[in-house]
Amino acid sequence: MPSTYKSDDEIYQSQRARRSSAGSLRPPRISRSGSSGSTQPPQAVFKVAGWAHAPSSVKRMLDYIGRTEVKVGQELVALEAEDGVERKGQAEVDEIYDEWKDDFKRKSKQTKALPRHAVHLVLSAKAELKPENVEKTLSASRRVLEKQFGEVGYQYALGVHQDGKYPHVHAVVKTVSLEKGVPKLRLGKMQIFEARKNLAEELSKEGLDHVATRRPSRKKARHSNLTAAKPNTLAKVKKVLENMTHEQRQFERALSRKEPSVNAIKHRKQQSKTLDTLRTQAKEDDKLVGQARLDAFNLIRSFRRGIEKKGVDAKVEAKATVNYFEKRIAKWMKEVERSASSEHQKKALPQPLEKAGKGIRQEIDQFLRQDLKDLAIPVNAQKAIYKQLRPQSLAMAKVQERIIGRGR
């Protein structure tokens, strides 16, 4: 049977030669599979997903990776610590937090910057999501984390999530090392790039060819008359809706917790206002014509319909909003007590704290007088919420009046 394999020369001769801008002939690029295109391996991903500035944030990071808040269709994820021990489930994941929490120091009064107790990292390979690739990505990530952090005493916990497009590993690294003399963990551009190069090497050793190259510098083009060009409305619509989609996912995740705490009413209002503003801007832009205009309106309409299709659980959102206000009140009261016990603040309440208390009371009053009535919940439930929040708001007012009067 004759071979069907074509050499590079045959492929070149069978295709039309392309001319460059200078007029010279150049052959098309040939990929490994015999078709034209780039042969560059994919980029390894090593990125910072966020920093934990409070002990509770570290706890949430560990819970998120371990999937301790089990939802329908999700399973618990085993967390592997730097010592190789696996922990699975709420009780065992809490053991990791208990081992770390003694190193979580509060922000000192002399510093303005918030403390960084831990960092959430994501390590990913652009490969098909199948068990063998997941295992390879895990092995490579494990070696990178050990080399970058474990060898110098930084404790960490990692877990694999398989609900994305590609295999990816989540890790939480505590910023305080167990080794004496090792400074607190800092991750700048150079350190992240070095870790990404290490990940690319380890993935390649596992048979998943990856590279880690720097992005080309992005120089901003200057307008010919030195004036900024008007932003493209369609691009703005896409960018704003992308951010709103991310915020909506965070909002839905917050509502799905056992004791949700989020200002759902404020979220809904801001969402509606942003969509109305986008639609007005698209409508008033004379340069937005043809297909681009249709695309802009379709994107806005599609996002709004997607939200409406999901519906609103008024009872859950009311509970989440009440929990949000109660947490803010409790936190403010605690700050007031701490300030009152301070030697430097025996008389007057600090202005930022006084302003914050006034802002919380205004938000609660707005919620009780107007927003609560608009919620689709029974009147009895509305009255119960009013009786729950109103006394707490009045208590805040009395505390402020007492301290202000004492300051006089």
**What pLDDT digit, counting tens, does each position of 266-322 carry?**
888 888 889 998 888 888 888 888 898 899 999 999 998 998 888 888 888 889 899
Q: What is the pLDDT of residues 230-261, one digit of tens each?
A: 458 888 899 999 999 998 899 888 888 888 89
Q: What is the pLDDT of residues 110-149, one digit of tens each?
A: 777 788 999 999 999 999 989 999 999 999 999 999 999 9
* pLDDT for res 112: 72
* pLDDT for res 347: 53
Closest to 151 measured CA to CA, from 213, 217, 195: 195
The whole-angstrom separation of Cα 122 and Cα 46 is 6
Query: Is there a contact between 318 and 385 (Cβ–Cβ < 8 Å)?
Result: yes
**pLDDT greater than 50 at residue 1:** no
Q: Which residues contact 295 (CB under 8 A, 6 or more apart)?
A: 234
* pLDDT for res 216: 59
CA distance from start to end of the chain: 103
φ, ψ for residue 114, nearest 5 deg? -75, 145
| Phi-psi group of 21: left, alpha or beta (phi > 0 → left; psi -120 to 50 → alpha; rest → beta) | alpha
What are 300's two structure tokens? Answer: 């806005």
* pLDDT for res 402: 74
pTM above 0.75, yes or no: no
Query: Is there a contact between 133 and 125 (Cβ–Cβ < 8 Å)?
Result: yes
**pLDDT greater than 80 at residue 332:** yes
- Supply the DSSP symbol for 371: I
Q: Which amino acid is at 187?
A: L
pLDDT-derived band at 159, boundaries 50, 70, 90: very high
Calculate the average pLDDT of the chain.
81
